[in-house]
Structure 1
Amino acid sequence: MEFFAEYASFLAKTVTLVVAIVVVLLVFTQLRAKGRSKEPGQLNITHLNDFYQSLQQRLEQAVMDKHRLKAQRKAEAKTAKLDKNAEPKPRLYVLDFEGDLKASATDSLRHEITALLSLATPADEVVLRLESGGGMVHSYGLASSQLARIRQAGIPLTVCIDKVAASGGYMMACIGEKIISAPFAILGSIGVVAQLPNLHRLLKKHEIDFEVLTAGEYKRTLTIFGENTDKGREKFQQDLEITHELFKGFVARYRPQLNIDEIATGEVWLGLAAQEKLLVDELKTSDEYLTERAQHAELYQLHYAQKKSLKERVGLAANVTLDRLILTWWSRLTQQRFW
């Protein structure tokens, strides 16, 4: 018994020490996070011409014999010397937007656009590589407004879509003067959707009351726990229709060549069919387009990296893991196949 008592005492002391160390580390981390959250992010710039050239040179080193490679390098050096005396090439700024439900990438996009507008001219070009299945109306409305700043400045904007630009994603894409899509990218979904469960009957079955107090006839229309009314449903549907009309008007403003009533049905199309509907202008991957433009322009990729606290990084990692688990669970439950 004496041994167990000594062991329990030792274990209690050890646990207390570990807990104390963890608390100190958490406090220290929080203090550092607060300090870092006040620091601005950083604009990272990559010269894509150098990147493409390095890929080519690495392959040449592997497949060409020494004599041919030496002659190739001499020719390149001679060409580079002549290029120094030539007219400067126009600049092409590459931006990336990977959308989620909240269009969180807008935080970086706004700073990237602010930076390029301080230097870009109508002789330059902006290319946005866009991937988004849409999300919240107000979030993608702000993201679209940021892109509109480029158009308002008279700078050509090209939007490249390799996988998907649907709903709010297409709302952003339509601002481009030229939309380029991969042949099997998903486009469209010009519609509005809202859905929510209602647990009123379940609560009523278990004799649980739920009350909603409002000031204003339409402060609440549909609720999760309260009893929904036909009048509330009618108002909710009316709000959806108004939002849809605004969505249609926005797309029609930037893509007047569209038959807006034909394509604003909420349907989606693959790139090949989307081109026939005039949703896109050209079928091509972003890699193909950028490598072609690199022959005639200087390409600069911009990425504004916002410094995140440890708490934000942990939260982001947790959200990504949760999203993957939900997707895996849903695909197994529905036996859905992706291609």
Structure 2
Amino acid sequence: MEFFADYAGFLARTVTVLVAILVVLAAIAALRGRNRRVASGHLDVRKLNDFYKGLRERLEHSVLDKAQLKAVHKAEAKAAKQSKKAGKHKPRVFVLDFEGDIKASATDHLRHEVTALLSMATDKDEVVVRLESGGGMVHSYGLASSQLARIRDAGVPLTVCVDKVAASGGYMMACIGDKILAAPFSIIGSIGVVAQLPNVHRLLKKHDIDFEVLTAGEYKRTLTVFGENTDKGRQKFQEDLEATHELFKGFVGRYRSQLDMAEIATGEVWLGTAALEKKLVDELRTSDEYLAARAKEAELFHLHYAARKSLQERVGLAASVAIDRVLLSWWERLSQQRFWQ
């Protein structure tokens, strides 16, 4: 018994020491994290011409013999020498990616990327945004759209490429482009506003559970999940949706004046081919096709602002992305049923 008592005491002291060490390490990590927040990220710049050149050279080495390779390299060197002698400078194309979730979280790095490129881009350059988004919160996508509007307002040509989907808030961003390129089977449109919420008031009432909401201001709370909703509250909520829809239509009309707003602002979505007919997009073309063609005549730079995140932020972000992907997956399945049945 004495042995077990001594062992228990030793074990308790060991655990106490380990816990103390972990607490100290956690405090040090927290302090270091606070200090790093001043410089919370960095801008990665990658030249896409090198990427396309690498693909071509890998294929050439697999397909061509030595004599053919030598001829190709000789022709390339001659062309480069002539271009340098003529003093020609290739135009620059800055490539950005925006993959939107419900909260338009990608705006956090988009704003820094836009700030960086506007520090040196001119009207002789071009910005290409590869955009994928099914939309989300109004205020979040309003801010994301404002970032692209900065490019347009600065007079820098803006091209938006949509390979899969640009709907609702996604199209709010896309419409700012001087030209919109879309893949033939991409999903475009959804110029509308939606809000929905469950109401469990009758369930609570059935079990004699009261739920009270105290407000100051007639329309501080219009619809609620737990309380009893009124016709007056529903009417006010609907009026707010209509007002937001009018702002949405006005925003799209500002940048795409050629659109028949009465026809396309119904909340519907269209495949790329139909979207072209309705002038929602300007050309049917994938981003790969467009950028590969531009790489032959311009210097392409891919910009990505990478923010440093704490462990807690990374875990939370991973969970949020997983939920968004599940919701988007179900949305895509419903869309497939709609279009392919």
Query: Cα distance, 1:28 vs. partner?
Result: 2.7
Which amino acid in the other structure matches residue 51 of structure 1?
A: F
Residue number in structure 2 paired with 1:37: 37
Which amino acid in the other structure matches residue 36 of structure 2?
A: R
Aligned mates of 2:314, 2:150 — CA distance in 1: 30
1:73-222 mapped onto 2 (5 Å cutoff): 73-86=73-86, 87-222=88-223
Q: Aligned to 1:38, what secondary structure does the other structure show?
A: helix
8 Å Cα contact 1:95/1:129 also seen in 2: yes
Residue number in structure 2 paired with 1:51: 51
Query: Cα distance, 1:232 vs. partner?
Result: 0.3
Query: Cα distance, 1:20 vs. partner?
Result: 3.6
TM-score, structure 1 as length reference: 0.91
TM-score, structure 2 as length reference: 0.91
Q: Aligned to 1:210, what secondary structure does the other structure show?
A: coil
Query: Cα distance, 1:326 vs. partner?
Result: 6.5
Aligned mates of 1:92, 1:320 — CA distance in 2: 30
Which amino acid in the other structure matches residue 302 of structure 1?
A: L
Q: 1:4 to 1:320 in 2, by over 3 A?
A: farther
8 Å Cα contact 1:190/1:247 also seen in 2: yes
Aligned mates of 1:326, 1:9 — CA distance in 2: 52
Q: 1:212 to 1:307 in 2, by over 3 A?
A: same
Aligned mates of 1:35, 1:296 — CA distance in 2: 44
Aligned mates of 2:189, 2:72 — CA distance in 1: 47
Aligned mates of 2:60, 2:124 — CA distance in 1: 33
Residue number in structure 2 paired with 1:234: 235
Query: Cα distance, 1:193 vs. partner?
Result: 0.5
Q: Aligned to 2:149, what secondary structure does the other structure show?
A: helix
Q: 1:328 to 1:301 in 2, by over 3 A?
A: closer
Q: 1:326 to 1:49 in 2, by over 3 A?
A: closer
Q: Aligned to 1:79, what secondary structure does the other structure show?
A: helix
Query: Cα distance, 1:150 vs. partner?
Result: 1.2
Aligned mates of 1:258, 1:43 — CA distance in 2: 37
Q: Does 1:287 align with 2:325?
A: no
281-290 or 302-311: which moved more?
A: 302-311
8 Å Cα contact 1:36/1:308 also seen in 2: no
Aligned mates of 1:170, 1:301 — CA distance in 2: 22
Query: Cα distance, 1:268 vs. partner?
Result: 0.8
Q: Aligned to 2:288, what secondary structure does the other structure show?
A: helix
Question: Percentage identity across aligned positions?
Answer: 74
Q: 1:276 to 1:326 in 2, by over 3 A?
A: closer
Q: 1:127 to 1:233 in 2, by over 3 A?
A: same
Which amino acid in the other structure matches residue 172 of structure 1?
A: M
Aligned mates of 1:116, 1:328 — CA distance in 2: 33
Q: Which sections of structure 1, spanning at least 5 residues, go unmatched?
A: none
8 Å Cα contact 1:34/1:309 also seen in 2: no
Which amino acid in the other structure matches residue 315 of structure 2?
A: V
Q: Which sections of structure 2, spanning at least 5 residues, go unmatched?
A: none
Give the count of matched residue pairs.
Answer: 338
Residue number in structure 2 paired with 1:28: 28
Query: Cα distance, 1:93 vs. partner?
Result: 1.0
Query: Cα distance, 1:7 vs. partner?
Result: 5.8
Q: 1:28 to 1:336 in 2, by over 3 A?
A: farther
Residue number in structure 2 paired with 1:63: 63
26-35 or 2-11: which moved more?
A: 2-11
Aligned mates of 1:162, 1:212 — CA distance in 2: 46
8 Å Cα contact 2:101/2:324 also seen in 1: no
Q: 1:132 to 1:245 in 2, by over 3 A?
A: same
8 Å Cα contact 1:91/1:125 also seen in 2: yes
8 Å Cα contact 1:33/1:310 also seen in 2: no
8 Å Cα contact 1:29/1:310 also seen in 2: no
Query: Cα distance, 1:257 vs. partner?
Result: 1.1
1:311-330 mapped onto 2 (5 Å cutoff): 311-323=312-324
Q: Aligned to 2:177, what secondary structure does the other structure show?
A: coil
Provide, for residues 128-159 of structure 1, a one-character-per-residue CA deviation record: whole Å limited to 9, x for no partner: 10011101101111111111111111111110
Query: Cα distance, 1:18 vs. partner?
Result: 4.3
Which amino acid in the other structure matches residue 235 of structure 2?
A: E
Aligned mates of 1:48, 1:112 — CA distance in 2: 16
Query: Cα distance, 1:17 vs. partner?
Result: 4.5
Measured on the aligned residues, the alpha-carbon RMSD in Å equals: 2.6
Aligned mates of 1:256, 1:103 — CA distance in 2: 26
Q: 1:2 to 1:329 in 2, by over 3 A?
A: farther
8 Å Cα contact 1:98/1:105 also seen in 2: yes
